[in-house]
Amino acid sequence: MVQLFNNVNEEVYRAYVFWSAVLVGKMLIMSILTGLQRFRKKAFVNPEDIATMPKLKLKFDDPDVERVRRAHRNDLENILPYFVIAFFYILTNPDVWIATNIFRAVAAARILHTLVYAVVVIPQPARAIAFFVPFVASLYMTVMTVTFFL
């Protein structure tokens, strides 16, 4: 039986860890961005958040806050599965150049997705391109992993 972790190229693994850590940092920043939007727009959803500001009312539907929240949710729906499939992909002993550039492209596209969706809204197809680059990369890694372990 092949020892799976003996197949892992250290350079590919290091690239995976580095770019995954970049994406974790990006996702953490989304929480801060949501909070900043809430303060900027005074759109708080919890009574304790406005307890010292009697003139404010709870506000659940601010479009700018909701845009940031949707971008964050999109990260959760797409980056978390990416972490899993990219880890499985490194077990297939992929080419270092291909794997490293996939990881770079996914991180760059996800950061770009946030920028064009939640920070400086740019019309389509900017967001679609920033979405589909990581989607196609994840699909590619899925197919490569499934066929390797078939």
Domains of the chain: 4-36+64-149 (1.20.120.550)
pLDDT for the residue 83 = 98
Residue 118 and residue 68 in contact, taking contact as beta carbons nearer than 8 Å: yes
- Please check whether residue 106 is in contact with residue 134, taking contact to mean a CB–CB distance below 8 angstroms: yes
C-alpha to C-alpha distance for 67 and 40, rounded to whole angstroms: 14
Neighbours of 125 (CB within 10 A): 11
pLDDT for 17 equals 98
**What span, in angstroms and rounded, lies between the C-alpha atoms of 136 and 30?**
23
What string of pLDDT tens digits covers the 150 residues of the chain?
457 788 899 999 999 999 999 999 999 999 999 999 988 888 787 878 777 877 877 778 888 889 999 999 999 999 999 999 999 999 999 999 999 999 999 999 999 999 999 999 999 999 999 999 999 999 999 999 999 999
0.85 cut: is pTM over it? Answer: yes
What confidence tens digit (pLDDT) does each residue in 39-50 have?
Answer: 888 878 787 877
Confidence (pLDDT) at 67:
92
pLDDT of residue 46: 82
CA 12 to chain CA mean position, Å: 20
Helices 10-41, 96-114: inter-axial angle, 10-degree rounding: 0
In the prediction, which pLDDT does 2 show? 58
